[in-house]
Amino acid sequence: MTQSIGDAYAEWEEKTLSHLLKRFPERKKTFQTSSGIPIKRCYLPTDSDPDYLDKLGFPGEYPFTRGVQPTMYRGRLWTIRQYAGYATAEETNRRFRYLLEQGQTGLSVAFDLPTQIGLDPDHPLAEGEVGRVGVSLSSFEDMARLFEGIPLDRVSTSMTINAPAAILLAMYVAVAKRQGVKLEELRGTIQNDILKEYVARGTYIFPPKPSIRLVTDTFHYCQEKLPHWNIISISGYHIREAGASAIQEVAFTFANAIAYVEAALKAGLKIDDFAPRLAFFFSADRNFLEEIAKFRAARRLWADIMRNRFGAEDPRSWRLRFHTQTAGSSLTAQQPENNVIRVALQALSAVFGGTQSLHTNSMDEALGLPTETAVRIALRTQQIIAHETGVGDTIDPLAGSYAIESLTDAIEAGVLEYIERIDHLGGALTAIEIGFIQREISESAFQMQRAIDNAEEIVVGVNDFMTDEKITITPLKVDPVVEASQKEQLMVFRSQRNENQAKQLLNNLTETARGDGNLIPSFIECIEGHLTLGEICTQLREIWGEYEAPPIL
């Protein structure tokens, strides 16, 4: 009788390996992923689901485990989309032009904190924060300066903005109209993912119910006016950066996505009208094999959720399309040149995992605002992977690996378990309100940090392989002139408007906000009537109030 693979491995382990392990003990007691999935010493065919070939399918076909397009990178490389935002619109415009000249294929806008929470530069709470972590943008003219000389019908733009996302989209539309660009030619993504702000990031403004309304109003408007615009980028990245594991990242992202889909259906939208335009945003973190498996499992899970849970019939609705960013939280101030290696490996995991769009972090981001040299190296990292490694020449090259298939199955099972728990609680909104998701992320972050502090997890240059070199940190300093200049420009901008018209526009906005009409046309009218982001958000605050986070016990 032929000996099975499992029996043969057991015999080898008993006769040979056990003897060697006495002489050469393994370096750790336990080996596991960030999600706590045990890593086996050696994977066998028996460690994969015997029906894994059925789960794999073909690229571009359900369940999309191997990719959402039938040719993947053989037909078109992923979009190289570097994230940038510098103090003023003019400075950011210069960086955008530089990146486009260097071969970047998509723009991604970082906004400062006041913009993210709907405050104009002259608001008292904005003092000292104007232009500090991104571009300061409060008016139609700011948006116009941001994209001066950049034809909006020829670039794809992503905007990382959430609470006031609908208003920033209105500004973008207004600028496109000024450029003479047809709205149906606009391509890009608005993050528009408010639920993750309540659990992981904190740049919320309004309570959940009106915030969800802004999301679905955006869905409605884009369906009618912006056919090539991604209506939301549901973000696991910030959840992961807050300390979640790989399984938690996918599970909580999909729980939020389910909530958005349910809200859209309740608002009267049809699943196959909006589902093909849902986009996602994930992190590529440190555990190389787990990250590859995570992306593959996520595609399969989303296809099942859309087809079987929501009854979507259009295959485009089943496809998980996602942008990836390398893990900012993995970057170290110590030996910052090591970050080049970290970023390259994380980017490679995203490509192996089949991402549609990728941002690579710069090596000096743990020290300050990225320098041009560091940004160029980050960009070249993607270009080298794309053009010199050959990894895009075949689709899903690690498929069939015993380890990859086993990890893909394990992540899928872990995500489903979390989604079932959240469903039992009443859905993502309830899970957020009672602090369940926040507590799970906090516990995961604590466990990971404890492992690093105890040197159970090695971070090169931080808790091992350290040097005595002194790190020279040049702190990021935003010139106070920037804030003064933004305030002055804002004053000039307001002085050019018809105040009676501005008051009438705010009255119209109030009436729409108190009713159930779509707010996006009102936002566009307000923007074109020279009202500012802060003025619009202040009006909405008076109607809806502000969200106060509950204590997490």
| Average pLDDT value for residue range 153-182 | 94
The answer to whether residues 306 and 312 touch, using CB atoms and an 8 Å cutoff, is yes
Q: Return mean pLDDT, the chain.
A: 91
At 474 the pLDDT is 64
| Average pLDDT value for residue range 238-252 | 97
pLDDT higher than threshold 80 for residue 85: no
Tens digit of each residue's pLDDT (9 = 90 or more) over 259-305: 999 999 999 999 999 999 999 999 999 999 999 999 999 999 999 99
Percentage with pLDDT > 70 across the chain = 98
* Lowest-pLDDT choice from 189-193, 247-251, 307-311, 367-371: 367-371
* Side-chain half-sphere exposure of 538, counting CA atoms within 13 A: 13
Q: What is the largest CA-CA distance in the chain?
A: 92
Give me the residue label for tokens 């489903």. 416
The answer to whether residues 108 and 100 touch, using CB atoms and an 8 Å cutoff, is no
* Lowest-pLDDT choice from 78-82, 107-111, 218-222, 324-328: 78-82
All domains in the chain, ordered by first residue: 52-388+402-453 (3.20.20.240)
The angle that helices 165-179 and 520-528 make with each other, rounded to 10 degrees, is 60
At 473 the pLDDT is 61
**Distance from C-alpha of 451 to C-alpha of 445, rounded to nearest angstrom:** 10
- For residue 182, give Cα distances in angstroms to 141, 150, 474, 516: 19, 15, 44, 28
At 550 the pLDDT is 77
pLDDT higher than threshold 70 for residue 340: yes
Tens digit of each residue's pLDDT (9 = 90 or more) over 385-406: 999 999 999 999 999 899 999 9
- Place 11 in a pLDDT band, splitting at 50, 70 and 90: confident
List the beta bridge partners of residue 553: none
232-235, strands of its sheet edge to edge: 229-230, 187-190, 156-159, 106-109, 79-84, 357-359, 322-326, 278-284, 232-235
Percentage with pLDDT > 90 across the chain = 75
